[in-house]
Amino acid sequence: MFASSSIFAKSVTLTFNDSVRKDVKVELPRKFDKKDKWPLIISLHGYGGTSRLQNYYIRLGAFQNDFGFVYAAPDGLKDSNGKGYWNASEFCCDFDNSQVNDLEFIKNLIESIKNSDQIGRIDTDKIFLIGYSNGAFLASTIACSSEINIAGIVTISGTSDLRNPMGELVDENQLNCEHQRPIPVLHVHGDADKTITYDGFDNGRTAHVGAVAQLKRWGIHNGCDEGLVKIESVINATNFVKGKETQHFEMKNCLAPVEHFKVQGGVHFGIYKKSFTKRILNFLLD
């Protein structure tokens, strides 16, 4: 899938040998050549989004050198309305029924980064996904797949399906993962989100679980005690809501951590503070 790569300063651009996909810029930390292995973060945009918007929304570059990681924010394909999308789940967002395999695309991207002569140096035990909205659905799908060894995910404003391809309701408590490996999960969601609603959505044909139901699913998968426990005072996470608006919860006695930031009054899209991006990275990389 990938052809030649070219390097500019602290980034490598991977190009494609088919004209369908956009090039992917892979950002490298300072002193990249001084260390044998680096964590890799793939950041996935929402429906109608782009890699550029995702990098503005989740400002990983501000902390890349402090934390030390490689990252990339690829672009999904464009649909008939010209909007970027991922074929992530039944609910979202392959509305043209293209059947494109975006899990395979991300798998190939990771393999190309790992095997690139100009990059390489990836710690295969530390490959992480951050997904917003449609990208969050894809992150959850990939994490449940046995094809890619994902070390942890952060999902923002996106959950997973409540109905199968036939439109039938599925068990709200089951992720239906292809493996039993516990995975660290942090989910961020605004309780005023009208696009991917905090309490879930079902119109009888297509449906997604709510934020708490999604966390419960991961809690069961990770062997946690039932229920979310508040672990700190309200924090200021976003510029879109005045004051301290976000509650922080976790599940207890998990094989891998399950945490939740509930943005009170938060809508579907919001620019998060750099300090909040730092919290996300602390969750993944500490």
> What CATH number is associated with residue 19?
3.40.50.1820
- The Cα-based distances of 86 to 47, 53, 78, 127, 141 in angstroms read 7, 15, 9, 19, 11
Question: What pLDDT is stored for residue 5 in this prediction?
Answer: 54
SS3 60: helix
**Number of structural domains found in the chain:** 1
Question: What pLDDT is stored for residue 7 in this prediction?
Answer: 45
Domain that holds residue 23: 2-285
Question: What pLDDT is stored for residue 25 in this prediction?
Answer: 96
> How far is the C-alpha of 137 from the C-alpha of 122, rounded, in Å?
25
Per-residue pLDDT for the chain (286 aa), expressed as one digit of tens each?
655 454 444 899 999 777 789 999 999 999 999 999 999 999 999 999 999 999 988 999 999 999 999 999 999 999 999 999 999 999 999 999 999 999 999 999 999 999 999 999 999 999 999 999 999 999 999 999 999 999 999 999 999 999 999 999 999 998 989 999 999 999 999 999 999 999 999 999 999 999 999 999 999 999 999 999 999 789 999 888 888 999 999 999 999 999 999 999 999 998 899 999 999 999 999 8
β-pairing, 77-78 vs 70-72, is: unpaired
Token pair for 196: 């991917």
The DSSP output letter for 64 is I
- Asked whether the beta carbons of 153 and 129 are under 8 A apart, the reply is yes
